[in-house]
Amino acid sequence: MIASRLGRSLVRIGAMAAKETLHVRRDPRTLALALAMPVAMLFLFGYGVSTDVDHAPLAVSDLDASDASRALVRAIAGSGEFDVVARRAPGELEPLFRQGSAVAALVVRHGFGDELRRGRQAEVQLVVDGADALVANQVLAKLDAIVRAESRRLAGPGPDRAGPPIEVRLWTRYNPDGKSAYYMVPGISAFLLAITAVMLTALAIAGEWERGSMEQLFASPVGRLEIVLGKLLPYLVLGLLELELVLAVGAVAFDVPVLGSGLLVFALGFLFLLGMLGQGLLISVLARNQLVATQAGALSAMLPAIILSGMIVPVENMPPPLRLLSRLIPSRYLVHGLRGLLLKGNGLAVLWPDLLAEALFALVVIGLATARFERRIA
């Protein structure tokens, strides 16, 4: 008896899913929203929202004018990290910073070459525009590394040169080149999945409320949960395809590695999409209007995915109230899980809290949507 009921229920869910699949196939806007827009936005975010510093404008004030100082400037310019845009006296550097013509300046004082030839420590001055702290720190670190390396090369071994008492060697794990795309692509993937999944179900089902086609479903023997699952399944498959597409583009276009298990990537994406689609369904059930559903879906999916997920600002850096609030945001767990999977090769022993949090969120929102899915027209 139970098996017979379960079989009939699965048949009805399949019929609902087939109906919704036909709707998706006949609506090119849905496919564009699910597949074309995420790829376009990934390129915009990946290339536009980059914290890497390349070809930063650099001013030079070479007071020594020796072979060593000129070699140092050539080494900096030839690194590809900086472009020498001006050569000025120290007193003329301030206007360049005010105009935004330079973000840093290198000042080589008199006697730089002589100090190197004598095996003594030679000093140069680095002046950095600190208006953008992120750029300033990167510029300072890169200039410092280039200057130190070139100074050691110019000075040579030298019998009078004493080595430092302590030598620090840095080893950067997981992202040794410091590429911002490695950090951003998992966060962008979560953002794109969140916004498209919520909007897909919110718009599609709110449209049915407006057109009155829900009356036909209510006149059928299909149960509330069967309607909900039948409507979610096609969008779930479409969302998983979107996830694979976004990660593939990230790997090809931005060289983002995939060190972890593909099965765990699928599990993270599956549970996250289930929750986001349920959230969109809940919004459509409450709003029953496409305009209201669009606004509510965008606000409830986009802003938390950007601000509270750790996509841009680490969760650990947030104030305690926001850290607590972020625990309710499923994007946080997808971002954390994807970064661990793609960059570190984390396994289930590390990722199970993220999977559990996503599963709980999905159960709650789908349960609420089903409970609010009343078989009547308001």
For the chain, the structural domain boundaries read: 2-49+179-372, 56-155
Contact present, 293 and 287 (Cβ < 8 Å): yes
Output phi, psi for 187, to 5 deg. -65, -40
**The pLDDT value given to residue 31:** 63
Question: How far is C-alpha 97 from the geometric centre of its chain's CA atoms?
Answer: 31
Tens digits of per-residue pLDDT, 298-342? 888 888 888 888 887 778 778 888 889 999 999 999 999 998 898
User: Does residue 296 register a pLDDT over 50?
Assistant: yes
Instruction: Report the run of H or E that residue 160 belongs to, with start and end.
Output: none
DSSP 36: I
The sheet with strand 104-108 has its strands ordered as 82-87, 56-62, 104-108, 124-128
Asked which of 66-80, 131-145, 187-201, 257-271 is least confident by mean pLDDT, the reply is: 131-145
Question: Distance (Å, rounded) from C-alpha 97 to C-alpha 221?
Answer: 72
Contact present, 150 and 106 (Cβ < 8 Å): no
Tens digits of per-residue pLDDT, 12-48? 777 667 766 776 666 666 666 666 767 676 666 666 5
- Calculate helix-pair angle for 67-77, 133-155, nearest 10 degrees: 140
Q: How confident is the model at residue 50 (pLDDT cuts 50, 70, 90)?
A: low
Tens digits of per-residue pLDDT, 137-177? 778 788 777 877 776 676 565 555 544 443 445 556 677 66
Contact present, 105 and 78 (Cβ < 8 Å): no
Q: How far is CA 179 from CA 242, 281, 317, 318, in A?
A: 24, 37, 21, 23
pTM for the predicted model, two decimal places: 0.71
Phi-psi region of 175 (alpha: psi -120 to 50; beta: other; left: phi over 0): beta
Question: Distance (Å, rounded) from C-alpha 149 to C-alpha 143?
Answer: 10
Mean pLDDT of the chain: 79
Q: What is the CATH number of domain 56-155?
A: 3.40.1710.10
DSSP 161: P
Question: Distance (Å, rounded) from C-alpha 61 to C-alpha 88?
Answer: 5
Contact present, 232 and 197 (Cβ < 8 Å): no
**Partners of 57 in beta bridges:** 83
